Structure 1
């Protein structure tokens, strides 16, 4: 029995296809941390491999935390720390976009009709 035999019960077929394409290695290339993690690794790729005590997960390349949205996106293999980093980065981006929209859109238009304000 090899470490590739430890697959999840749910969505095993998709998991195996993604893991085989990934070579049973985390596919993160540094987007998990703002300062560019994995810079010194060959191909800038995370070194973690799938093992029973350190399993990789199959998730969206830019996870949202919503399994329904993530299921339809491009699927990749991530280790736990890289997944957490990508999820935090996605949430930061969404929060920044929401904040920008909030400041760009006035709650009330207080200019009188016919005015050029």
Structure 2
């Protein structure tokens, strides 16, 4: 099993608690209905028959947290994420917290 080059002491307990499986439960926008509501991706598994290898990461559930705050979190406050779910969740969270901008009128410049 491949492990990250740094912070293995943080990464491994998170992965063991998650059973080396992404812990996204639909926050990314995908209901993960075929896998009981939880992302089916496992560390070192493949996304599909001809897909790419999955490398899970340990990151906070609050995907908008600053990197400085995230680095200070204890292991118990981190979750296992596959890159696709983490990226989609962050994109969705940023869109939900973005200030509403008024679109210009049809003929306004």
TM-score interval for Structure 1 and Structure 2 normalised by the shorter chain: 0.7 to 0.9
1:12 aligns with 2:18: no
Tell me whether 1:90 sits opposite 2:93 in the alignment: yes
Question: Gaps spanning 5+ residues in structure 1: where?
Answer: 104-117
Over the aligned positions, Cα root-mean-square deviation in angstroms equals 2.2
- Aligned residue-pair number: 92
Instruction: Please list every run of at least 4 consecutive aligned residues from structure 1 whose deviation after the TM superposition is greater than 2 angstroms.
Output: 69-74
Question: Do 1:18 and 1:77's aligned partners in 2 also have CA atoms closer than 8 Å?
Answer: yes
Whether the 8 Å contact between 1:60 and 1:70 is mirrored in structure 2 is yes
Larger Rg: 1
Structure number with the higher helix fraction is 1
**2-structure distance, mates of 1:87, 1:64:** 7
Greater RCO, 1 or 2 (C-alpha within 8 Å, sep 6+) = 2
What TM-score do the two structures reach when normalised by structure 1? 0.68
| Structure 1 match to 2:68 | 68
Query: Which ranges of structure 2 fall in alignment gaps of 5 or more residues?
Result: 46-52, 103-109
